Structure 1
Amino acid sequence: MDINNYIGCKCRLFVRVLLLTVLLFRATKGSAQAYNGNTFKLTLEEAVRFAKGQNKLVQAATIEESAAGEDLKDAYNAALPTITANGSYQRFSRLTLFTDGLSHSATGPRKPTPNGAALGVDALFNIYSGGKQRALQSEQQSRLHLARLNAKDQSGSIALQTAQQYLELVRLTDLQQLIADQLNRAQTRVNNINALYNNQKVTKSDVLRAEVVLSNVELSLQENENNLTITNQKLDDLLNIPDTVRISPVDSAGMAKPAISSLQSFIEAAGVTSYAIQKTTESIELQRARLKGIKSGNLPTISFYTAYGLNYPNYLFFPPVDQAYAIGFVGLKAQYSISSLYHNKRKVEAARLRIKEGEVQQQAVADNVRTEAHSLYIKYVEALTRIQVNERSVEQAQVNYKIVNTKYLNQLSLLTDLLDADNLYQESRFNLIRAQTNALSIYYNILYVSGNL
C-alpha cells in the first residue's frame, strides 16, 4: 500500500472515531429528541475498533484487569516488614488486701504508683517462609495474566458481535434496495396487466393476483425497515452510543473478501493463540503456584523481629521503682508446625489433582479449537465458492426474468411463469448478499477463534 494512501486512511479513521465520540458526548448531554434521526457513517473496521474501546463489558473487563494489577502489587508489598506502634495508659484503683479469708481487709495505694503507661514500636521481617511469599506473588501474577486474557477475550467477543451486527445491517440495507427494486417491478407489472385487462387480453384474476403480490412486497419492505431499526439498536448498544443514533454502513456486501491463503497462519496457530487455550494454560500455572504455597506449610519459617519502647513504672527491679525506662531488643524467631505433616497432606494431593485436571481440560480445549478453526476454514472456502455460483445465478435469473416478462406482455406465457421468474431473480440476488455477508462473518469468527480479533 502506498504510504500516502495509508496515512490518508488512518486520518479518515481517526476523524470518524473522533466525530462519533463527540456525537456520543453531545447525545448524553442533550435530550433524546434532539438527536432523533441522526445518521453516522461507519466502516466495518471502524465499528469494530470503536466497540473494542467503548463497550461497557470491555470496560468492565479492563477495570478487573487493573484490580488484578493492584492485587499483584499488594502481594509484593506483603514482603515488606510489619511495623506496629502501640501505646497505653492505665489508672489503677486503690488496692484492697484480704486476710483471714474475706473477714478482714485493708486498703492502700498501688505501689509504686497508681499510674501505668507504655509506648513502643515493634517490627517483624520475614526472612524465610518456605517459599510461601514467592508462591503468593506467582499466584497473583497468574491472576493478572488471566484478567488480561479475559479482557482480550471479552474485547474479541464484542468485536465479533459488532462485526456480525454490522454485516446484518449491511445485509438488511442491501435487501432494502432489492425489495425497493422488486416493488418497482411489481408496480410496473400491475400497470401493464391493467392495460392488458382494459384491452381484454387477460382476465381479472391476473389483475387481482398482481395486486396481491404488490401488497406482499410492500409488507416485506415494511418488515425489513423494522428489522433495520432493531439491528441498528443492537449495534448502538455494542458501540455504547444512544439508540437515537442511526448507523449507516459505508461498506457493502460486495466488499473485498480476504484471500484463502491469508488464513492459513491463523488456522495453524489457533491451537496456541486461542484465548480459550491461553486461559487454560494460565489456569494451570495458577494451580501450580497454589501447590507451591501449600507445600511451603511443611517447611519452617524464620523471622527477624525487634522492638523498642518506653514504659512506666519500672517493674524490672524489685521492688518496683516509680520511674520510666526505655529498652529495646533484636532477635530471630524460628517456627515449625509439626501438625503440617498431616494437615497439608491431603491439600497437596488435591492441588496436584487439580493441576492434572487442568492439563486434561487444556488438551480437550485445544482439540475443540483446532476442530472449530478447521471447520470455519472449510466453510469460508465454501462461502467463497457459493459467492461465485450466486453471481452466475443472478445473471441467469435476470436474463430469464426479462425473457419471461417479454413473453407475458406478448401473451406467450402465463402470469404464474412471470411471478416465478421474478421470485427466482429476487431470491438469487438475496442469496448473493447472504453469501457475501456470511463469508465475512466466518472470517471474523476465524479471527476470534484463533485469538487475533
Structure 2
Amino acid sequence: MRSNIYIGSKRRLSIIALGLIIFLFTTGIAHAQTVDGNKYQLTLAEAIRFAKSQNKLVQVATLEESAAKEDRKDAYNAALPAITANGSYQRFSQLTLFTDGLSHSTTGPRKPSANGAALGIDALFNIYSGGKQRALQDEQQSRVHLARLNTLDQSGSIALQTAHQYLELVRLNDLQKLILDQLNRAQTRLNNINSLYKNQKVTKSDVLRAEVVLSNVQLSLQENENDLTITNRKLDVLLNIPDSVRIAPVDSAGMPKPAIDSLLPFIESAGVTAYSVQKIKENIELQKARVKGVESSNKPSIGFYTAYGLNYPNYLFFPPVNQAYAIGFVGLKAQYSISSLYHNKSKVAAAKLRERELEVQQQANNDNVRTEASSYYIKYTEALTRIAVNERSVEQAQVNYRIVNTKYLNQLSLLTDLLDADNLYQESRFNMIRAQTNALNIYYNILYISGNL
C-alpha cells in the first residue's frame, strides 16, 4: 500500500515537472532548462509569466470572472418572453346534493362529464418596466468589468510577489557566493595565523579569534542556505509547483536597471491606470445602475401577454356542454404602484448617497495612488544613486583589505584591523547586492501600482 502511494505521488510530481518544462518551451523560453533532477533555471520574466498563468489565486479570480459573465447572460436572457406550458386532468367523484340541512341527500353524476382536462400555453413579454431591465443589464455588465479588473489585479499582485521572491532568491544566491568567498578567506587567514603562531610571531589569542571568526562565517553560510530553502518554497507556491522543485535564477542582482526617465509615463498615468482606481471607477458605474434600478420602481410597467389552450368540458355555455373547445387571447397589461411614491423615496436617496460616497472615495484613492507612485519614483532614483556609491565602496574596501592583509602578514598591523577590513569589504558587497535588488523591487512596485504588471 505504501509503495503504491509512493509511486503515485512520484508520478504526480513527474507530471507537474513535465508540465513546467512544456510551459517553458511553449512560451518561447530560451534560457530555462533542467540543471539536475528537480532543479530548473528560470529568468525573472519567465517566473512572472508562469505565476500569472498557474497560480491558484489567479485561477480563482478567473473562475469568478467566468461566473460573472454567466450572470450577465442571465440578465440579458431575462428580457426574453416568459413562456409557460401547462396541462391538467381531473376525474370527479359522484355529486352529492343535500336538502333540509344534511338529513336528506341524493347522489348523481357530475354534468356534463366526470372528466375535466386543460392543455395550454401562455407567454408574457415585458415592453416597459421603467428601465429596470436595462439597469439590471448595466449592473451585470459592470460586475463583469469588475471581475476582469480583479483578475488583472490578482495577477499583478501575484506577479509582484513572484518578483520579490525571485529577487530575494537572487540576493541569497549572490550572498552565498560572497559567504563562500569569505569562508575561503577566513580559512586561509587561519592557516596563515597558525603558521605565524608556530613561528612565535603572534599570540594564541589571534589563533583563537581567527577560529571564532571562521565558525561565525560557517554559521552564516548555514543560515543563508536555510533562507534559500525557505524562499525557494515560497516561490514554488507562487508558481504552483511541488516544493521539491528547486529554482535556479538565471538573472543576477547586477542585471540591467531601467533608466529613470523610462518610468515617468508609468508615474504620470498611475492616477488613471492603477487597478484600484479602475475598480472604484467601475464601482461608481455599478452604483449608477443600481440607482436607475431603484428609481424604476417609481415608474409604470407595460407588458404584452397572450395565451392559447384546449379545455374540456365546455363551461362557456350554460348549462355546460360535453365537448372540448380551444380558445386564445392577446392583451396588454399596465400597472403602476402608487405606494412607490413614499415606499421608494428613502431607497433612492440612500442609493444616490452611496454613489456620492464612491465618488469621494475615488478622489481620495487617486491622491493616494499618485503620492505612492511619486514616492516609489523618488526611492528608485535614490536606489540608483546608492548602487553607484556602493560600487565605489566595494572597490575601496577591496583595496583596503588587501593593504591591511599585507600589513598584518608583515606584522605591521593588528588582527583587529584585518578583521575590521574584512568585515568592511564583506559588508560593502552585501550592501551592493541589497541596493541592486532593492532597485528592482521598487521598479516592479511601480509597474504594479500603475497597473502595468
Q: Same fold (TM over 0.5)?
A: yes
Shift of 1:21: 4.4
> Match of 1:38?
38
Shift of 1:83: 0.2
Q: Give distance in 2, aligned partners of 1:351 and 1:18.
A: 53
> Match of 1:448?
448
The residue identity in structure 2 corresponding to 1:195 is S
Shift of 1:340: 0.8
Shift of 1:109: 1.1
> Match of 1:159?
159
Conservation of the 8 A alpha-carbon contact between 1:37 and 1:244: no
> Match of 2:74?
74
Shift of 1:276: 0.3
Equivalence map 1:5-404=2 (5 Å): 20-22=20-22, 38-404=38-404
1:69-111 Cα distance to aligned partner (Å, 9 max, x none) = 1111111111100000000111111111111111111111111
Q: Secondary structure at the match of 2:279?
A: helix
Conservation of the 8 A alpha-carbon contact between 1:37 and 1:246: no
Q: Give distance in 2, aligned partners of 1:321 and 1:67.
A: 55
Conservation of the 8 A alpha-carbon contact between 1:87 and 1:119: yes
Q: Secondary structure at the match of 1:333?
A: strand
Q: Give distance in 2, aligned partners of 1:279 and 1:23.
A: 31
Runs of 4+ aligned residues of structure 1 deviating over 2 Å after TM superposition are 17-24
> Which ranges of structure 2 fall in alignment gaps of 5 or more residues?
1-16, 25-34
Q: Give distance in 2, aligned partners of 1:36 and 1:110.
A: 91
Q: Secondary structure at the match of 1:303?
A: strand
1:24-59 Cα distance to aligned partner (Å, 9 max, x none) = 9xxxxxxxxxx9951111101111111111111111
Summarize the Cα distance change of 1:322–1:19 in structure 2 as closer, same or farther, 3 Å threshold: closer
Please give the TM-score of this superposition, normalised by the length of structure 2: 0.93
Conservation of the 8 A alpha-carbon contact between 1:20 and 1:40: no
Q: Give distance in 2, aligned partners of 1:266 and 1:54.
A: 27
Q: Give distance in 1, aligned partners of 2:378 and 2:407.
A: 43
Q: Give distance in 1, aligned partners of 2:88 and 2:202.
A: 111
Q: Secondary structure at the match of 1:231?
A: helix
Q: Give distance in 1, aligned partners of 2:68 and 2:135.
A: 16
Q: Give distance in 2, aligned partners of 1:90 and 1:259.
A: 85
Conservation of the 8 A alpha-carbon contact between 1:120 and 1:308: yes
Q: Give distance in 1, aligned partners of 2:222 and 2:38.
A: 20
Q: Secondary structure at the match of 2:253?
A: coil
Q: Give distance in 2, aligned partners of 1:208 and 1:62.
A: 61
> Match of 2:421?
421
1:178-199 Cα distance to aligned partner (Å, 9 max, x none) = 0000000000000000000000
> Which ranges of structure 1 fall in alignment gaps of 5 or more residues?
1-16, 25-34
Please give the TM-score of this superposition, normalised by the length of structure 1: 0.93
1:106-144 Cα distance to aligned partner (Å, 9 max, x none) = 111111111111000000001111111110000000000
1:216-246 Cα distance to aligned partner (Å, 9 max, x none) = 1011101101100110010011011111110
The residue identity in structure 1 corresponding to 2:106 is A
Q: Give distance in 1, aligned partners of 2:114 and 2:62.
A: 60
> Match of 1:31?
none
1:294-333 Cα distance to aligned partner (Å, 9 max, x none) = 1111111110000000001110000001111100000111
Q: Give distance in 2, aligned partners of 1:98 and 1:381.
A: 103
Conservation of the 8 A alpha-carbon contact between 1:168 and 1:231: yes
Q: Secondary structure at the match of 1:223?
A: helix
Q: Give distance in 2, aligned partners of 1:213 and 1:294.
A: 75
Q: Give distance in 1, aligned partners of 2:274 and 2:445.
A: 12
The residue identity in structure 2 corresponding to 1:298 is N
Shift of 1:18: 8.8
Q: Secondary structure at the match of 1:341?
A: helix
Q: Give distance in 1, aligned partners of 2:23 and 2:240.
A: 12
Q: Give distance in 2, aligned partners of 1:23 and 1:407.
A: 56
